[in-house]
Every structure is written in C-alpha cells, then in structure tokens.
Structure 1
C-alpha cells in the first residue's frame, strides 16, 4: 500500500484553510492565540473530517498566518475596511468571512514572497469551502483592492 505525500502547494492551501478556522475560533471563543495554535497542531492536523482524510497543513505557515493576523490586527482591519464597498463595514460582516479577509490581507501585507494573484486565489478558494453565494467574489474584490494598493504592479491592472 503506497501513500502519496501531499504536495507542498496542497499543504500550504490546507494551512490557509486551518488558519481561517483558528482565527474564527479565537474570534468566537476568545481562546488565547497560542492555545489555539497548539490545539490545532496537536489535535486537528491530519484528522479526518466526516470520514474524509485531510491534507496535513504546513504548520509553520499556519502559525505565521494566525499570529501575524492577530498581532497586526489593527493594520489588517484598516486595510480590509478601506477595501470594502461603502455599504459594508468590517464589524457587520459575517465573522468567518471577516476572518478570511483578514488572513488574506495579512498575507498580502507580510508575505511579499508569495505573488499577490496566488494569495487572492487561495483565499477565494478558502471562501468557497464555506460559502456558496457571492462571498467568494466579495473576497476577490477586497483582496484585489488591497493588492493594488500595497503591491502595485503585481495585479493585472496594477
């Protein structure tokens, strides 16, 4: 029986998804940052969900996203708020949707080695894992606006 090891790309994608889940847990429960990171690493990584095997997340990337998003929350929230359409406010967004946007904004801000289109695509895919409506398009628009401002030249109309 051969077990194929997940690609680095798949592990990074899984880290982004897990980071959004951890940020959501922190937001909902108020559990301290390091406790949530440790809990995910010890008890959730690699565990099947609804009987389906899950890709083991890239643990260092997971930790960077969760820590970075929380530590730089004021800056991240300002970026997201500034990129939202006028009829939306950060506080009124669905908590999970807000967590997706915050993680994506942090990664655009801090992970300059990852091309902006990849960051945007990854978080649109994370959004699709949780939402079936217009939310993926909204995340795409918000992160694209942030990328155009923070990383001019990396987006198609940059």
Structure 2
C-alpha cells in the first residue's frame, strides 16, 4: 500500500497545489532532474485531462495530441505553464492508453467491487485509473510508488479523500497484478 493510506497527507485544493506538493517530495526516479520531474507531473495532469476530453467529446487520440501540442502547451493550467509538460511522455501515454485499452480496462475492472462496471465510474476517475494503469503495466522504468502517489494526488486535487483512497486502493491492486 502507498503512503496515502494513513490519510495524513495534506489535501491540495488545486492542480497547481498538486504540482507543488508532488514536486516537494522525492517521488520520481532519481535519474530525472527537478525540472524533468515537474514536467512529468504536469504531463500526467494533462494526460488525465486529454483522456477525459477524448471520452466526453469522442475526439480521436491523434487529434487531441495535436491540439495539446499545437495549442494547449502554449497556455497554462491554473497558472502553471503548460510548456513545462513532458510532451513526449504525454503523447506516448495518450496513444498507448487508447491502443492498449482492451488490456488496461480489464485490469481496472478486476479491482472494482463485484457488480461494478467501469462505465459507472466518474469519467475523470476512469481517466486517472487508465493513465495510472498504463504506467504500472507498460512503464516499468518508473517506480510503482511514484506512479501511485502521483495519481492519488491528482485524484485528491479533483475530488478529495474518498476518491483518492479509491484510486490508491485500485492502483495498489493493479500494481500487485502487473508488477509481480
């Protein structure tokens, strides 16, 4: 289980607070500079946003990747420059999640309560779980604690403790399934 089980972590109230909170911790692999860690955190937030957008609008992955690359990365996310995002990580994640959704979704479904369908989850929670599951399954170069902690903090920023605990439990279980 990750450190978020204790419930003692502060509750960020904005996406900018999440970025600051995550970057105040030693969360990413030691091979990344602080600037690169921050860029990876922003990329994760943007990835969740893009997955949400694709599901809500029905827009294809290449269109969304191009939109973010051409227009959105020049803007900001609650005062955080989007240009600080790891654009390659974002694009890799978006494409891989769409391509591997047939593998990713069953991993998530296996961790839902009996009788729950993935469609019953909030769209943002689905996006967070899909992104986290992609990293756990396909990015074994990134520590599972890093992945879980970052997506728990993203869930906390969007929702609060209940959803953050749910994301924590689901990703902990998925990690046990894919990182044996």
Unaligned runs of 5+ in 1: 153-158
Provide closer, same or farther for how the CA distance between residues 6 and 44 of structure 1 changes in structure 2, counting only shifts above 3 A: farther
Gaps of 5+ in 2: 1-32
Match of 2:159 among 107, 131, 136: 131
Is residue 143 from structure 1 mapped to residue 171 from structure 2 by the alignment? yes
Say whether residues 1:22 and 2:50 are aligned partners.
yes
Q: 1:128 to 1:54 in 2, by over 3 A?
A: farther
Where in structure 1 do 4 or more consecutive aligned residues deviate above 6 Å? none
- CA shift, 1:53, in A, is 3.3
Deviation at 1:87, TM superposition (A): 5.2
Q: Which one has more relative contact order, counting CA pairs under 8 Å at least 6 apart?
A: 2
Residues in 2 aligned to 1:133 and 1:87: alpha-carbon distance in whole angstroms:
23
- Which residue in 1 is equivalent to 2:125? 97
Within the alignment, does 1:53 sit opposite 2:80 as a pair? yes
Matched, 1:110 2:127: no
Q: TM-score, normalised by structure 1?
A: 0.87
TM-score normalised according to structure 2 size: 0.77
Tell me the number of residue pairs that the alignment of Structure 1 and Structure 2 aligns.
Answer: 147
CA drift of 1:104 comes to: 0.5
Question: In structure 1, how many angstroms separate the alpha carbons of the residues matched to 2:35 and 2:129?
Answer: 25
For residues 22 and 99 of structure 1, the distance between their equivalents in structure 2, rounded to whole angstroms, comes to: 9
Is residue 11–residue 58 contact of structure 1 (8 Å, CA) maintained in 2?
yes
The separation in 2 between residues aligned to 1:90 and 1:109, in whole angstroms, is 18
Of residues 68, 74, 80, the one that matches 1:40 is 68
Deviation string 1:77-117 (CA, Å, 9 cap, x unpaired) is 00000012225321100011111001100111100100111
Alignment RMSD (CA, Å): 1.7
